[in-house]
Amino acid sequence: MSAVNGWSGAVSDFVAAMVEDEKSPNTIASYRDDLSRFASWYRGEYQSDPDVGNLGASELRAWKTHLSEGLGQAPASVNRRLAALRSLSKWAQAKRGSTPIPVPKSLREEARRPRWLTKKEQHALVRCVERGQDRRSIAIVALLLHAGLRIDELARLTWGQVAISERKGSLDVVGKGRKRRVIPLNVEARNALLELDGRSPSAGSAPVIQGQRGPMTRKGIQKVVDAIGRAAKLDGFSAHVLRHTFCKRLADAGVRLEEIAALAGHESLDTTRRYVEPGQDELAAAVERIAGGAE
């Protein structure tokens, strides 16, 4: 592919394609930023704009080295920036007949255990949010903690996707890759939704989590969650920690991996399998049990 529309035009078309494919807003924003950073670096190095159809392996190896050694970025960050180029290349091949971009291999990453709340932390969090008596905040925490929603899924959730009564309920959620899953609601999630009182017939398309000017964005929800975490004095806390906690509690209750994967919308059981492995707190408790030795 020649640089008919230039780098900026190619990236704009690529971003538009991601929007059309309903990629998550976070992925779209990250890839746009990664590709912009690459273009800025490239201009500084080679005094010209990059051309999607004419990038060489040596140039991309230099970009990888700049990220990992020059900027000292972690392997996960380097790999994500490489993934943005790889995804752009795949799109350009399919839509524009571009020559594949020779993206270097990803760096090896150390497997990171997901962060979930201990039962003590979960109790402190719930007590903190309930003490505030803000129905919206209570619903946000309940749906992340007891339904395992991704923050983007929560931001998009409407009352038309909610089926609820005092004794049972469910959410009809469209997740990654437009995959639909139905999540049964436990009593905690049902009560939180009933308190929001959005069940009138006209509320079908209305967002469940409303801001002052309409639907709350993912950033708005994240700010609410962050504020609750600070008030509860929780370290390393985020909305995704609540989703991890949902999966971990299911695993601890003996729920089968296939069922957890279906509820969480995982594409691979390898993702789900992380929750049956012991966490750092559990390993520390195991070691403590042998303290002092045996006579």
Report the CATH number at residue 196.
Answer: 1.10.443.10
- Label residue 96 by pLDDT band (50, 70, 90): confident
Nearest to 39 by CA among 19, 18, 10: 10
Does residue 293 lie in a domain region?
no
Query: Residue 1 has what pLDDT?
Result: 38
More confident residue, 1 or 209: 209
- Label residue 203 by pLDDT band (50, 70, 90): low
Strand ranges inside 113-161, DSSP E: none
Reported as type and span, the H/E element at residue 76 is helix 75-96
Point out the domain boundary residue: 81, 96, 111: 96
For 13, the domain range is 6-96
Query: Residue 202 has what pLDDT?
Result: 53
Domain shared by 12 and 59, yes or no = yes
Q: Is the four-CA dihedral 256, 259, 263, 267 of positive or negative sign?
A: positive
**Residue 165 backbone dihedrals phi, psi, to 5 degrees:** -145, -175
Give CA–CA dist 180/265, Å, rounded.
8
Does residue 104 lie in a domain region?
no
- Is the pLDDT at 244 greater than 80? The verdict is yes
Query: Residue 172 has what pLDDT?
Result: 95
Tell me the pTM.
Answer: 0.66
Q: What is the CATH number of the domain that holds 73?
A: 1.10.150.130
Number of domains the chain is built from:
2
Distance from CA of residue 61 to its chain's centroid? 28
